[in-house]
Amino acid sequence: MILPGATLGLLGGGQLGRMFTVAARTMGYEVMVLDPDANSPAAAIASEHICASYDDKDALARLASECAAVTTEFENVPASSLETIAEHIPVRPSAVAIRIARDRILEKQTVRNAGVDTVDYVTIKSESDIEAAIGSISFPAILKTATLGYDGKGQVVISRDSDLETAFQQLGEKPCVLEQRIDLACEVSVILARSVCGHIETYAVAENKHEGGILDMSIIPARVTPEIAASAEEMARLLAEELDYCGVLAVEFFIDKNDRLLINEIAPRPHNSGHYTLDACLTDQFQQQVRTLCGFRPGKTDLTTPAVMVNILGDAWEHGTPAWDLFLKNSNVFLHLYGKKAPRVGRKMGHFCCVGSDVAKLLEQAESLKKVLVGHKS
């Protein structure tokens, strides 16, 4: 076990890295962040910031020699970098898990190997695969790049089969998955923490709403039947076991109009839909990342209060700085800003969380505060 006072390494210095750093330093650890952005949010509060690329040999050597263990903020880092570090110190989650999570083709194969359903899909690696794909999937469908796609990026909705070739070219003729579009009822996610010894703690299922491919709001607990919630948690556990996973894992699900649960994708890290844990759980997801990285069992995940979490995007700065006083005057609203210097349309700048006993009232309050962000009065 790695005790407070040790230095933990982190690849990635965005908002997830910043919240990991807050948790780690609060628990008594030092944090060394590797991120190529000199102004990354985590760098501002880390013990030390190495401003270099994720495959910089000297930077990786420093992490391996000066840190007790290393984790990652997100999956879009080279798995080879994690393998290099793992030759010297623990890396959690493993390079294998990162490699699977960053590649939709490997991800879907792994999910099915665990005995869990995904949407129907086919892989397209070249134009020669298009004809067979058209014969296997009905339309409309969604074409997604196998790698580097997130928050709605790297995907195209295809209404008819004649559009598939053009869409493949639009995505750079890179390996893709073509997914059957389903009759969607809602989307949910399960976040869990698994220790190196296999102890698992799962959080309450979150119900997620997206706008423009970006998570807009999470409602906790999800408004689904107890049976669906229990099934989602069990599927997430099965997947964690299949991966022999260590760390925080997020599993996103589709629920169709027939109440079928289908895994959409996984994230080998804390997740946007889990930010409510900062204000509504005994142990938040970033504390879990620290605990599992350091060899401890996950903390208890009891939900202390229902919650509604809403993302704050750079769009909110279109008419100047948002009226934060309208948020902070509410004693049940918790505001989290990520320290990013330049607001841009679609960029995640922060989030707020409304907590209380009545989910319907929390939703009403959250919607009212969302209007503040787009220039309306509360």
165-224 pLDDT tens trace: 888 888 888 899 999 999 999 999 999 999 999 999 999 999 999 998 899 999 999 999
Rounded to whole angstroms, the Cα distance separating 340 from 283 reads 26
Q: What does the alpha-carbon distance between residue 143 and residue 3 come to, in Å, rounded to a whole number?
A: 46
Provide the pLDDT for residue 378: 44
Contact 76, 14 (CB under 8 A): no
pLDDT of residue 135: 82
Residue ranges and CATH numbers for the domains of the chain are 7-91 (3.40.50.20), 120-180 (3.30.1490.20), 184-373 (3.30.470.20)
AA letter at 30: E
Residue 136 has pLDDT above 90, yes or no: no
Residue 193 has a pLDDT of 98
Ranges 93-97, 161-165, 223-227, 361-365: which has the least confidence = 161-165
| Lowest-pLDDT range of 88-102, 151-165, 308-322, 358-372 | 151-165
Question: Which DSSP letter does residue 316 get?
Answer: G
Read off the pLDDT of residues 38-51 as tens digits, 9 standing for 90 and up: 999 999 999 999 99
- Residue 290 tokens, joined: 């620290």
Angle at 359 between CA 236 and CA 302, to 5 degrees: 45
Cα 129 from chain centre:
31
How far apart, in whole angstroms, are the C-alpha atoms of residue 92 and residue 72?
8
Q: How confident is the model at residue 122 (pLDDT cuts 50, 70, 90)?
A: very high
Closest CA to 359 of 212, 217, 158, 188: 217
For the cut 50, the answer to whether the pLDDT of residue 111 exceeds it is: yes
Q: Is the pLDDT of residue 6 over 90?
A: yes
Average pLDDT on 307-315 reads 97
pLDDT at 150 over 80: no
**Alpha carbon distance 136, 287 (integer Å):** 44
Q: What letter represents residue 220's amino acid?
A: I
Does the global pTM surpass 0.85?
yes
The pLDDT score that the predictor gives to residue 149 is 67
Here the tokens at position 124 are 């397209």
- 3 state DSSP class of 115: coil
> Percent of the chain, pLDDT > 90?
82
Q: Is the pLDDT of residue 153 over 90?
A: no
pLDDT at 377: 46
